Amino acid sequence: MQQGWKGEPGSMTVTWTTWVPTRSEVQFGLQPSGPLPLRAQGTFVPFVDGGILRRKLYIHRVTLRKLLPGVQYVYRCGSAQGWSRRFRFRALKNGAHWSPRLAVFGDLGADNPKALPRLRRDTQQGMYDAVLHVGDFAYNMDQDNARVGDRFMRLIEPVAASLPYMTCPGNHEERYNFSNYKARFSMPGDNEGLWYSWDLGPAHIISFSTEVYFFLHYGRHLVQRQFRWLESDLQKANKNRAARPWIITMGHRPMYCSNADLDDCTRHESKVRKGLQGKLYGLEDLFYKYGVDLQLWAHEHSYERLWPIYNYQVFNGSGEMPYTNPRGPVHIITGSAGCEERLTPFAVFPRPWSAVRVKEYGYTRLHILNGTHIHIQQVSDDQDGKIVDDVWVVRPLFGRRMYL
């Protein structure tokens, strides 16, 4: 079971899977025990996995509406043929004037999901308002005729059924044109979760697919379609800075990294940064032009924080306070939540644009305190929850917000 937020204030979408067609209903209320007086109906769609067995699952979606902001609800989903256990979630607050707390990570995996027990504890203690899972889920959801996908969804259920679990696609989701990813998660917009944006407190958050640059056999036109959508969304977000001062992006494969492997981000002209053939639909210029503040990435199984950067040049705010009024976007690569592929080593000599590198399992906490302050912390699971990186990004409200 997974909760997604479709961007509509006072709403929450619940998604679950059955093996036979049944009605789609959620019963919910405010009391932890006793009857659940409220009802919401939804629909299901059959999902046929691309594997040899052509397994058929039924994906149910029900949207709860008219929820009271910040109030905790108890719910269960199912039908007369069977009900889930009870879960609880807190409806998102409305408007821009509150301080969302997020858990951010990618590359979790159904085997060796190192950070999950700690994330579950954090979630049960009410530490987060939402999760951003930056691609690469189960390694791979399609495997064993999509049974690995089922197992992964059961694994994340204690977190994903308790708060909005917001996603973007990674390379490990690509089989059968990302069909398991599109079917199992419910994101805003009408693009099957490949790219979308939403507002959360003082931030506008944009999720997109880096994978359109790599799996061109699913359609080169997707690169252009996404790029045009990104430009239009960024234009609108930039005009709305008075209401939502921060613009944050999340995509799976980074533009930069200093890891010791042959991934795209280790190349000087990475595809995500410079585009196809080093010149078509590159994202660095676009994000710089519209003053994106924070770019969240994964894919490398490590944690790396960059100095504010554009075109390999460091644009620190000042020597003493590099992240106060930075003159370029801040990049965070957080792909060390788990995964059986193990951690990714770093190149021996750090790059001049790399500020902090941590080769330990863990995940990132992101606290969007208000319109001027964002707090980023890296939690090391290897060191029993120790905070191994801690930085504030500070931007005065005046003079927002183009770097050019």
Q: Give the pLDDT score at 37.
A: 97
| Burial of 347 from C-beta contacts in 10 A (0-12 / 13-18 / 19+) | middle
Quick check: 404 pLDDT over 70? no
Give the H/E segment covering residue 147. Answer: helix 143-160
Evaluate if residue 254 carries a pLDDT over 70: yes
Give the H or E element holding residue 309.
Answer: strand 309-310
Residues 364-389: tens digit of each pLDDT: 999 999 999 999 999 999 999 999 99
Give the dihedral sign, CA 67/72/78/80.
Answer: negative
Q: Name beta bridge partners: 336.
A: none
Tell me the CB-side half-sphere exposure of residue 87, using CA atoms within 13 A: 24
Q: What is the mean pLDDT of residues 199-226?
A: 98
- Residue 401's pLDDT is 61
Q: What is the pLDDT of residue 400?
A: 57
Domains and CATH numbers, the chain: 2-89 (2.60.40.380), 96-394 (3.60.21.10)
Instruction: Let me know if 311 is exposed, middle or buried by CB neighbors in 10 A (0-12, 13-18, 19+).
Output: exposed
**Mean of all residue pLDDT scores within the chain:** 96
Percentage, residues of the chain above pLDDT 90: 93
Band of residue 3 on the pLDDT scale cut at 50, 70, 90: confident
Average pLDDT over residues 183-198: 97
- Between CA 156 and CA 141 the distance in angstroms is 13
**Which pLDDT score, from 0 to 100, does residue 301 have?**
98
pLDDT in tens, 329-368: 999 999 999 988 899 999 999 899 999 999 999 999 999 9
